[in-house]
Amino acid sequence: MTIGDKVRVIRIPPSVEKESPPETVEIFRRCVGQILHVDGFDEYGHLELNVRTDRLRCGHRSYHTIWIEPEFVEVT
């Protein structure tokens, strides 16, 4: 994968479900099945995905950055 690739989030990482606040889990939940662009990578290889929540039909516009391991996405 490289910056600019389109990926579909296929599931929420277990660590997010276990260790994150409910608001974060909800953002990840809304991303499952969505196609997003890879905007970067961190030093651990996690993908940076920027999420505009109005695209995800949550009722208001806001922006979030999520970091996710490559095994939880597929290249489209």
Give me the phi and psi of 3, to 5 degrees please: -60, 135
Separation in Å, CA 22 to CA 25, 28, 35 = 5, 10, 22
Per-residue model confidence (pLDDT) at position 70: 98
pTM of the model: 0.84
CA–CA distance, 46 with 56 (Å, rounded to integer): 22
Per-residue model confidence (pLDDT) at position 12: 98
Sorted by where each begins, the domain ranges of the chain are 6-75
- What single-letter amino acid sits at 20? S
- The pLDDT tens digits along the chain (76 residues) read 999 999 999 999 999 999 999 999 999 999 999 999 999 999 999 999 999 765 455 555 678 899 999 999 999 9
DSSP sequence for 24-57: HHHHHHHHBT-EEEEEEE-TT-PEEEEEEGGGGT
